[in-house]
Amino acid sequence: MKTASFFTYTGPGRISIARFAPRGTPAGFKVYRKLAPRPEMLRMERAEYEPLYNEILAALDAQTVWDELHALVHPHEPVLLCWERLRRPGEWCHRRMVAEWLSRQLHTSVAEFR
């Protein structure tokens, strides 16, 4: 499994974990709403956003999420998409929070697509 921006990856296995996709996004992606932030979170600063998003993750079972994401795009590798274009190491977005959560819970690696 990998993560990417809608703007940097257009290949197979795309799964949106955003509230909605950018206008003009090529068709063919799937949507996994369980990992989308709530509407009121979209304009929050990181310090306010992170605890709320961690509550969303805490309510989910990581293995179930992993299995559902793989089933959604089988036979392709899942690539979780959101809007942010991470250009430098250490930049933040909710897809990286998901990657870190899955990595911690399942002792696996979820890399950013480069």
Structural domain boundaries in the chain: 2-112
Per-residue pLDDT at 102:
97
Per-residue pLDDT at 92:
76
- Global pTM reads 0.91
Residues 56-107 have pLDDT tens digits of 999 999 999 999 999 999 999 999 999 877 666 667 789 999 999 999 999 9
Residues 6-59 have pLDDT tens digits of 999 999 999 999 999 999 899 999 999 999 999 999 889 989 999 999 999 999
C-alpha distances out from residue 51 to 40, 44, 97, Å: 13, 11, 11
What number of CA atoms fall less than 13 Å from residue 79's CA on the CB side?
A: 17
Separation CA 78–CA 75 (nearest Å): 9
